[in-house]
Amino acid sequence: MSFEEYQIDRKTQSAVERKFEIIGEALNRISRIDGNVLEKIRDYRSIISFRNILAHGYDSIDERVVWGIIEADLENLISDAEKLS
């Protein structure tokens, strides 16, 4: 999928944003239980912060920012998560 396709596909945008919310909330909960686990997740603080932006509906979600995260960070997040299991 290209950015242009993503930009006009509201259903995909909603799904992606929701998944990022879930991931961020999970990391937030893990941080309360065992913060040492999170040291294995690159940029976990940024992920939690991004979750807060999405969850609290600041009405300023920029599709370019979300797409940038998908392009630049998603593979690392998947790799880090796989190391935890």
Specify whether 10 is catalytic: no
Q: What is the rounded CA–CA span in Å between residue 70 and residue 17?
A: 11
Tens-digit pLDDT profile for residues 50-72: 998 898 876 678 899 999 999 99
Tens-digit pLDDT profile for residues 1-49: 999 999 999 999 999 999 999 999 988 998 889 878 888 888 888 999 9
Of the candidates 18, 32, 51, 64, the residue annotated as catalytic is 51
Specify whether 51 is catalytic: yes
pLDDT (0 to 100) of residue 39: 84
pLDDT (0 to 100) of residue 58: 64
- Domain residues of the chain, as ranges? 3-84
pLDDT (0 to 100) of residue 80: 86
Helices (H), the chain: 3-8, 10-33, 35-38, 44-55, 63-84
Of the candidates 18, 29, 32, 56, the residue annotated as catalytic is 56
pLDDT (0 to 100) of residue 10: 93
